Structure 1
Amino acid sequence: MWAFFARDPVKDFNYDILPETQETSGIWTLHRGKRKTGGEPVSVFVYEVSTGTEEQTQLAKAAFKRMKTLRHPNILAYVDGLETEKSLYLVTEQVTPLAAHLKAQSDRGGSGDLEMSWGFHQIVKALSFLVNDCHLLHNNLGIWSVFVDRAGEWKLGGLDHMTPENEDASTSLPSAKAVHSDMDKYDPPESPNGGEKWAGDVWRLGCLIWEVFNGPLPRTSSLRSLGKIPKALVPHYCELVGANARARPNPARFLQNCRAPGGFLSNSFVESNLFLEEIQIKDPAEKHQFFQDLSENLDSFPEDFCKHKVLPQLLTAFEFGNAGAVVLTPLFKVGKFLSAEEYQQKIIPVIVKMFSSTDRAMRIRLLQQMEQFIQYLNDAAVNSQIFPHVVHGFTDTNPAIREQTVKSMLLLAPKLNESNVNQELMRHFARLQARDEQGPIRCNTTVCLGKIAPYLNAGTRQRVLISAFSRATKDPFPASRAAGVLGFAATHNYYSVTESAARVLPTLCTLTVDPDKNVRDQAFKAIKSFLTKLETVSEDPTKLAEIEKDVMSSAQPAGAAASWAGWAVTGVSSLTSKLIRTGPGAEVGGPANNTPVAANTASPRSEVKPPTASMTLPFASGLAIQSDSPKVTEKDEEPIGDRWDDEDWGSLEVQLKSEVYMESLILVDGWSAEPAGDWGAEESWESVAGLSKTELAKKKREERRKELEAKRAERKAAKGPLKLGARKLD
């Protein structure tokens, strides 16, 4: 039992003190520490009774008591404490002395006036709280009594000499000068009882301002030299260090004066901080406007402030405040300051949850800004939690959502599993390319397919690519036809020599008479490239294996094609703006954007390599045409969505369930292969009929109706005329 009472209380203390980092703050030694159970970082102020004087011990115990009882956001927060016969342990939030913080900031390029302004706002507010609300005098204000937390917030500490305003500080506690002989330069020139009660603290506030901008104060007379004190602060600073103690302003009035328009404390950073402190009582409209403005201001705000103060508020606003899509832009801006581990812990769970939202504004902003966070998403989360929600965008009635969903596949494809990329994604792409009413979306679908081709397995590439690009070459939208041509060129290495000759070149040759010159130009270049490839093999059959090495290659592993990440087709969130930009006469995929597909002009008998780099989807940034282009009339072009339905990518067959539902087009899952000859037969059938499937179905129903009417008329005639009594009715 006696052993229990003899135990060292320090060993039972719930905090570990890290002795290797020590800094002196007045009579205290400041240590870094951490909680034993959770590992949260803290600061531990230690005072050794055995090495201090009686006056210092008296001050340390007074500060220990004050820290327990005072609570204010701008005063150093007490967490825990331990008092033994040998030592005093004061545990607070993790902080750094202001002097050390300013030195670190100076080494990194200096601390801006924005951070200074908010820091002084906090210290003056803390001083005003003590003087006006608690009727206490600090008596020890200086750079040594100010500390900075992880968010860059300034906290007032150093409560060793604090006294009630109605007590004489010189008799109640030892003065700072009595403990530290070099402190007399911070004393005001008047007698202790001269002026207002707060006059001494306000004078020391002026000394603090001088030291923050100019460094250590060598002597009292140096206060007359302004040095680097900002001009907006100079008149208010002069009031603080004026010789007339009665003219010195109350801390609350000083704060008010500096907050006036044009004052040192009147700026966006201070306003943002004040709003965040009261965000819980703001109405939704004010919050929405604040987060919108915050995105523009974040670039000028300190990094630590963004990470440790703005980010928690953004996460809280999304989680509990129904802030919606407006928090996304500032959230991703702040995310740039986080490490990969911090991003995984704080941002990714929010992003995953956002994708399940039905808010269209949220969805489109996520898709537009996916490039900022895609690298932090692991494959499992993409396939199980994100992709199932994203695919709903392919069928959204809003064209902008469909467009952004297609473009996002460039970033998601490397992380998709085989089933999602080869089956689910291809099914949606086939439907968009065949039946979407927006030409730019059909065009971008073709572009995206060409870019993600390396991630498809060999079987899917064989079934899909030629069929998809052939369909694109028949699109009434010129940019889609150009995309089909350049899609063939960009994926040339996935076609065998036989396919190039029998399927690709015949399709390209039909475009040499296309009404659009850009399409014709690209078709001629692609034809020359493919002919060069065929000539190379014809001249040297031993090169066949080398040229066809990629035809049956495996899908490219995730993350291996970072160069595809940029979407160069100029998309927008609204199809009322330009989706794809070029000027009149600009060449699709031409020099203004990317290197065009260059025709290989070398002699067939020379050493010619198949085109590679020059064929890498140059069309991605040069497809011209606006989304608000004139609609195609029946007189000019064939109807969109019906013309190519039976030329599906690997026969996504159209099932006509019955005559009643002849117009219903049902896509069958999977991409079953079709012989090359069948595509030609279907195309011939459709071209001879001159009708789309919908029109053909209507025609068949009309013929069936006429046939039934004819049979009804025959039965009526066979029965003869009806009789009523003796009269004959003709």
Structure 2
Amino acid sequence: MWSFFARDPVKDFNYEILPETQETSGIWTLHRGKRKIGGEPVSVFVYEVSTGTEEQAQLAKAAFKRMKTLRHPNILAYVDGLETEKSLYLVTEQVTSLAAHLKAQSDRGGSGELEISWGLHQIVKAVSFLVNDCHLLHNNLGIWSVFVDRAGEWKLGGLDHMTPENEDASTSLPSAKAVHPDMDKYDPPESPNGGEKWAGDVWRLGCLIWEVFNGPLPRTTSLRSLGKIPKALVPHYCELVGANARARPNPARFLQNCRARGGFLSNNFVESNLFLEEIQIKDPAEKHQFFQDLSENLDSFPEDFCKHKVLPQLLTAFEFGNAGAVVLTPLFKVGKFLSAEEYQQKIIPVIVKMFSSTDRAMRIRLLQQMEQFIQYLNDAAVNSQIFPHVVHGFTDTNPAIREQTVKSMLLLAPKLNESNVNQELMRHFARLQARDEQGPIRCNTTVCLGKIAPYLNAGTRQRVLISAFSRATKDPFPASRAAGVLGFAATHNYYNVTESAARVLPTLCTLTVDPDKNVRDQAFKAIKSFLTKLETVSEDPTKLAEIEKDVMSSAQPAGAAASWAGWAVTGVSSLTSKLIRTGPGAEVGGPADNTPVAAGTASPRTGNPVTDGVTVGKELTGLSKAELAKKKREERRKELEAKRAERKAAKGPLKLGTRKLD
């Protein structure tokens, strides 16, 4: 029974003090800590009664009491506390001292003026709250009494010397100078009764600003040297440290002056923070505009701010605020700052939920930006939670949705299971290729099929590829016919010699008289390639097994797809954009630029000639007209050199298959 009363209360404390780091803050020692159950990080301020004086113990107990009763977003948040005969434990939100934070930022490249501007805004707002709302005097304001949380937010602490405005601080509590003799350089020059009661706190605010930009204050006279204080802040700083106490501005007026147009506290970073603080009471139109502008500003904002303040607001705005697609761009920008584990925990659940949205703008932006998050999606989530929603895009009435859905398969195919990729996906591809009214979408479907061929099993490749590419070669849209030819060439290793001779070559030969010159050129090259393979087997039948080794091969794992020489989905995927604008400047499903350009006219965007409603030339091949002409001249020169070489070799007998055709 007696052992119960003799228990050490520290052992029953809900928080554990970590030994890694210790910082001194006035009479307190700052430790990192964590909750014993759950492991949430905290900070623990410890005051050892045995090592301090009676005056210091009095200050520590006063601060302990004030921390429990004061609540403000810019004042260090009290979490828990414990008072024993030996020590005082003050548990707060996780923070580090401002001095340590500025040093760490300087070591990493410098703490920018944007972050400092918002930090000073927070501290001045906290002082204004104490002076104007609570009628309290801080009496201990300085760099040692400011702390920074993990989001970069500055918090006012150091409440040891705080007193009511109408109470004489010299009689109620020991002065800071009495406890720390070296603190007299921060004392204002006037007598205690000079000017407003808060004039001393305003003076010390000026000292804080000086130290933030210039480092520790060596002596009071150093305040006259501006050092690195920004020009926009200089006139307001001079008011704070003016010799006339009556001329010093109230903290609220100082804040108002600095927030004026052109002032140090008037910038996008401060404006964004202020909006986020009041986002719950903003109307939907204001939120929509804010998130649109936020994407452009994030590049200049501090990383910690983006991770710990912007990201939670973005997630909340989507989850509860019906923000919609507008949060996607800033969400993915912030996602770049996260580790793989953090991304998996915070972003992926939201993305999975977004795919079930019926909002077309949301869906198309997800598809357009899939490359930014696909690596974080596991195969199970793709097959069970994402692919079933994505496939609805194949039948969407909006061509832009269908186009992006087709293109997204390049990223999703490596993660799809056998049923989804060999059955469900092939069924949709067959319908699009045969019946879609948009030629560029039929073309992109053919391109995508060739690109994902390595992920199909052998049976599906045997059943689908030749039929699909043959169908494409009969398409009225020239780019689709070219895509069919290139598809044959790119997947040539999946056809045995019998299929090559009996099914592929006859189809390609019909295109040698195609009305489109590009289709004819691609057909001749593909024919030469297949003939070379057949000639090789004819000359040396033992090479048959090597040539047909991929015909019955299993589906390849992610990342094992063969490269495509001379053709890529980015080359032809841009075709659809001539039929409908799907970029940020167009409202999906709205009256966008979805009317084909008349054939024979000039493209309004590029000036290139238009055929069958799409721009040809650089839009299709990736080369300008001058580059195309140069390439054709080079090809012609090589052909002439080859013919000259053949004529020289004509003196001897010719052997089939001795020269590899291009």
> TM-score range with shorter-chain normalisation?
0.7 to 0.9
| Closer/same/farther in 2, CA of residues 203 and 540 from structure 1, 3 Å limit | same
Partner of 1:553: helix, strand, or coil? coil
* Residues 529 and 599 in structure 1, CA contact (< 8 A), matched pair in contact too: no
* Residues 27 and 47 in structure 1, CA contact (< 8 A), matched pair in contact too: yes
Cα deviations by residue, 1:506-530 (Å, 9 ceiling, x for unpaired): 1111111111111111111111111
* Distance in 1 separating the partners of 2:246 and 2:88: 39
| Closer/same/farther in 2, CA of residues 186 and 528 from structure 1, 3 Å limit | same
Cα deviations by residue, 1:396-441 (Å, 9 ceiling, x for unpaired): 1111110000000000000000000000000000000000000010
* Residues 579 and 594 in structure 2, CA contact (< 8 A), matched pair in contact too: no
| Closer/same/farther in 2, CA of residues 692 and 392 from structure 1, 3 Å limit | farther
Structure 2 residues not aligned, in runs of 5+:
606-617
* Residues 572 and 620 in structure 2, CA contact (< 8 A), matched pair in contact too: no
| Closer/same/farther in 2, CA of residues 139 and 727 from structure 1, 3 Å limit | closer
Partner of 1:357: helix, strand, or coil? coil
Cα deviations by residue, 1:211-232 (Å, 9 ceiling, x for unpaired): 1111111111111111111111
| Closer/same/farther in 2, CA of residues 281 and 696 from structure 1, 3 Å limit | closer
| Closer/same/farther in 2, CA of residues 603 and 299 from structure 1, 3 Å limit | closer
* Residues 411 and 565 in structure 1, CA contact (< 8 A), matched pair in contact too: no
| Closer/same/farther in 2, CA of residues 546 and 235 from structure 1, 3 Å limit | same
Partner of 2:227: helix, strand, or coil? coil
| Closer/same/farther in 2, CA of residues 23 and 495 from structure 1, 3 Å limit | same
Q: What is the deviation of 1:717?
A: 84
* Count of residues paired in the alignment: 650
Cα deviations by residue, 1:160-204 (Å, 9 ceiling, x for unpaired): 011111112222111111111211111111112211111111111
Q: What is the deviation of 1:727?
A: 94
| Closer/same/farther in 2, CA of residues 584 and 78 from structure 1, 3 Å limit | closer
* Distance in 2 separating the partners of 1:309 and 1:603: 45
What RMSD, in angstroms, separates the aligned Cα atoms of the two structures? Answer: 18.0
| Closer/same/farther in 2, CA of residues 698 and 125 from structure 1, 3 Å limit | closer
Cα deviations by residue, 1:471-491 (Å, 9 ceiling, x for unpaired): 111111111111111111111
Q: What is the deviation of 1:560?
A: 3.8
* Distance in 2 separating the partners of 1:447 and 1:316: 39
| Closer/same/farther in 2, CA of residues 728 and 345 from structure 1, 3 Å limit | closer
Cα deviations by residue, 1:10-46 (Å, 9 ceiling, x for unpaired): 0000001102211111110001000011110000000
Q: What is the deviation of 1:534?
A: 1.4
Cα deviations by residue, 1:277-315 (Å, 9 ceiling, x for unpaired): 001111111111111111111111111111111111111
Q: What is the deviation of 1:577?
A: 3.7
* Distance in 2 separating the partners of 1:512 and 1:580: 32
* Distance in 2 separating the partners of 1:35 and 1:579: 58
* Distance in 1 separating the partners of 2:114 and 2:128: 21
* Residues 579 and 596 in structure 2, CA contact (< 8 A), matched pair in contact too: no
* Residues 526 and 599 in structure 1, CA contact (< 8 A), matched pair in contact too: no
Cα deviations by residue, 1:33-87 (Å, 9 ceiling, x for unpaired): 0001111000000000000011110100000000000000000000000000000
Q: Name the structure 2 match of 1:241.
A: 241
* Distance in 1 separating the partners of 2:265 and 2:364: 38
Q: What is the deviation of 1:391?
A: 0.3
Cα deviations by residue, 1:251-296 (Å, 9 ceiling, x for unpaired): 0000000000111111111111101100111111111111111111
* Residues 458 and 551 in structure 2, CA contact (< 8 A), matched pair in contact too: yes
* Residues 14 and 37 in structure 2, CA contact (< 8 A), matched pair in contact too: yes
| Closer/same/farther in 2, CA of residues 593 and 71 from structure 1, 3 Å limit | closer
| Closer/same/farther in 2, CA of residues 110 and 600 from structure 1, 3 Å limit | same
| Closer/same/farther in 2, CA of residues 419 and 705 from structure 1, 3 Å limit | farther
* Residues 410 and 452 in structure 1, CA contact (< 8 A), matched pair in contact too: yes
* Residues 439 and 480 in structure 2, CA contact (< 8 A), matched pair in contact too: yes
| Closer/same/farther in 2, CA of residues 211 and 693 from structure 1, 3 Å limit | closer
| Closer/same/farther in 2, CA of residues 136 and 706 from structure 1, 3 Å limit | closer
* Residues 570 and 581 in structure 1, CA contact (< 8 A), matched pair in contact too: no
Partner of 1:342: helix, strand, or coil? helix
* Distance in 1 separating the partners of 2:223 and 2:656: 128
Farther off after superposition, 52-61 or 539-548 = 539-548
| Closer/same/farther in 2, CA of residues 561 and 132 from structure 1, 3 Å limit | farther
* Distance in 1 separating the partners of 2:586 and 2:255: 61
Cα deviations by residue, 1:647-698 (Å, 9 ceiling, x for unpaired): xxxxxxxxxxxxxxxxxxxxxxxxxxxxxxxxxxxxxxx9999999999999
* Distance in 1 separating the partners of 2:620 and 2:123: 86
Q: What is the deviation of 1:575?
A: 8.2
Cα deviations by residue, 1:586-619 (Å, 9 ceiling, x for unpaired): 99999999999999999999xxxxxxxxxxxxxx
Farther off after superposition, 691-700 or 120-129 = 691-700
Q: What is the deviation of 1:111?
A: 1.1
* Residues 410 and 565 in structure 1, CA contact (< 8 A), matched pair in contact too: no
Q: What is the deviation of 1:578?
A: 2.7
* Residues 532 and 657 in structure 2, CA contact (< 8 A), matched pair in contact too: no
| Closer/same/farther in 2, CA of residues 8 and 562 from structure 1, 3 Å limit | farther
* Distance in 1 separating the partners of 2:531 and 2:655: 81
Farther off after superposition, 221-230 or 563-572 = 563-572
* Distance in 2 separating the partners of 1:710 and 1:519: 23
Q: What is the deviation of 1:700?
A: 50
* Residues 482 and 518 in structure 2, CA contact (< 8 A), matched pair in contact too: yes
Q: What is the deviation of 1:569?
A: 3.9
* Distance in 2 separating the partners of 1:317 and 1:240: 40
Farther off after superposition, 500-509 or 577-586 = 577-586
- Is the radius of gyration larger for structure 1 or structure 2? 1
* Distance in 1 separating the partners of 2:176 and 2:35: 33
| Closer/same/farther in 2, CA of residues 706 and 3 from structure 1, 3 Å limit | closer
* Residues 494 and 551 in structure 1, CA contact (< 8 A), matched pair in contact too: yes
* Residues 525 and 598 in structure 1, CA contact (< 8 A), matched pair in contact too: no
| Closer/same/farther in 2, CA of residues 563 and 141 from structure 1, 3 Å limit | farther
Farther off after superposition, 284-293 or 406-415 = 284-293
Partner of 1:82: helix, strand, or coil? strand
Partner of 1:727: helix, strand, or coil? coil
* Distance in 1 separating the partners of 2:248 and 2:604: 93
Partner of 2:45: helix, strand, or coil? strand
Farther off after superposition, 316-325 or 532-541 = 532-541
Moved over 2 A (4+): 558-605, 686-730
Q: What is the deviation of 1:558?
A: 2.9
| Closer/same/farther in 2, CA of residues 719 and 494 from structure 1, 3 Å limit | closer
* Distance in 2 separating the partners of 1:558 and 1:216: 56
* Residues 589 and 595 in structure 1, CA contact (< 8 A), matched pair in contact too: no
Q: Name the structure 2 match of 1:206.
A: 206
* Distance in 2 separating the partners of 1:31 and 1:589: 56
Structure 1 residues not aligned, in runs of 5+:
606-685
| Closer/same/farther in 2, CA of residues 138 and 457 from structure 1, 3 Å limit | same
Partner of 1:89: helix, strand, or coil? strand
* Distance in 1 separating the partners of 2:657 and 2:557: 90
Q: What is the deviation of 1:535?
A: 1.6
* Distance in 2 separating the partners of 1:71 and 1:706: 81
* Residues 432 and 445 in structure 1, CA contact (< 8 A), matched pair in contact too: yes
| Closer/same/farther in 2, CA of residues 424 and 210 from structure 1, 3 Å limit | same
Q: Name the structure 1 match of 2:639.
A: 707
Q: What is the deviation of 1:585?
A: 29
* Distance in 1 separating the partners of 2:604 and 2:276: 71
* TM, length-normalised to structure 1: 0.78
Q: What is the deviation of 1:496?
A: 1.0
Q: What is the deviation of 1:537?
A: 1.6
* Residues 494 and 552 in structure 1, CA contact (< 8 A), matched pair in contact too: yes
User: Identity rate of aligned residues, in percent?
Assistant: 97
Q: Name the structure 2 match of 1:495.
A: 495
Farther off after superposition, 145-154 or 565-574 = 565-574
* Distance in 2 separating the partners of 1:399 and 1:369: 18
Partner of 1:189: helix, strand, or coil? coil
Partner of 2:570: helix, strand, or coil? coil
* Distance in 1 separating the partners of 2:468 and 2:71: 69
* TM, length-normalised to structure 2: 0.86
Structure 2 residue 652 is matched with structure 1 residue 720: yes
* Distance in 2 separating the partners of 1:63 and 1:519: 82
* Residues 401 and 573 in structure 1, CA contact (< 8 A), matched pair in contact too: no
